[in-house]
Amino acid sequence: MDAKIRLYVEHPLGAGQSVPLDRGQAHYLFGVMRQAIGGQVLLLNGQDGEWRARITEAGKRGGMLSCDEQTKPLQMPPDLWLCFAPIKKARTDFIVEKATEMGAARIVPMQTEFTNSGRIQRDRLQAHAVEAAEQCGGTYVPQVSEMIRFDRLLHDWDPDRQIMFCDEALAASGVAHGLEGTGPWAIFIGPEGGFSDVERKRLHGLAHATAVSLGPRILRADTAAVAAMTIWQQTLGDWT
């Protein structure tokens, strides 16, 4: 029987390893998915790859799984951060989900001058990243950071991490970039209304930042995140 359900667990995975289920996981497997003892589940924890496991105990408040074999090794994404200004709730959720699917190693919400959202629920966004990893077949789950102010983020920035700065002011020039070099990178996506003149000037003044156009039209922030990650992955990432 092929296992079709993938489940993220915060527990070590290995041959013969027993994995306990919490109440929410038990409800999902036994109440929603109608699984029973003997059923098979694919497990990931972001560290040990993907493992096929059998259900050995099933109850309303919990259960137990036993790991049988590794089905995928841990597949790490490139060292790429997505730094973006949160927007409306559903569209922020979309950005987190797509960043996970497309191979971001870390997701960093940032407060810019024009950011409309004053706060985020980090735990909820992290849960969306987990769900996206479960559904897309990934074995790694990116960390979603607490929201940080744009100026504070750059103040503590490691210059060894290059920045791909998506500048909406370059839209008329068409898609153009000078992305090159190995090592860690980050993509910066602005909010609705874009980066302020002060923020754009600061980014343009960084030796480790490269301004990029995403085409002849100004994109919504969630669309821009997908477009930018596609360009970076095809140029420098693991799609090449």
Q: Strand 63-72 to strand 50-58: parallel, antiparallel, or no bridges (unpaired)?
A: antiparallel
The pLDDT of residue 116 is 81
Q: What confidence score (pLDDT) does residue 46 get?
A: 95
Q: Which residues pair with 148 in a beta bridge?
A: 110
Handedness of CA 211, 91, 33, 26 (dihedral sign): positive
Q: What is the CATH number of domain 6-72?
A: 2.40.240.20
pTM value surpassing 0.85: yes
Enumerate residue ranges in the chain where pLDDT < 70. Answer: 1, 171-177, 240
Count the alpha carbons within 13 Å of 41 in the hemisphere toward its beta carbon. Answer: 34
The amino acid sitting at 187 is: I
Instruction: Look at residue 63 in the predicted model and tell me its pLDDT.
Output: 96
**What ranges make up the beta strands (E) of the chain?**
6-8, 18-21, 40-44, 50-58, 63-72, 80-84, 106-111, 143-144, 148-149, 162-166, 185-189, 209-212
Between vectors from CA 131 to CA 128 and to CA 133, what angle results, nearest 5°? 110
H-state helical runs in the chain: 23-26, 89-102, 122-136, 150-155, 197-204, 221-235
| Termini Cα distance of the chain | 35
Tell how far CA 190 is from the center of its chain.
17
**Residue 198 exposed, middle or buried by CB count within 10 Å (0-12, 13-18, 19+):** exposed
User: Cα separation of 118 and 157, whole Å?
Assistant: 22
- pLDDT of 192 reads 85
- Listed in order, the ranges of the chain carrying CATH 2.40.240.20 are 6-72
CATH of domain 80-235: 3.40.1280.10
Q: Helix 122-136 and helix 89-102: axis angle, to 10°?
A: 40
Give residue 172's pLDDT.
Answer: 57
CA distance 38 to 52: 12
How does pLDDT run across 139-151, given as a tens digit for each residue? 999 999 999 999 9
Task: Check if the beta carbon of residue 75 is closer than 8 Å to that of residue 139.
Answer: yes
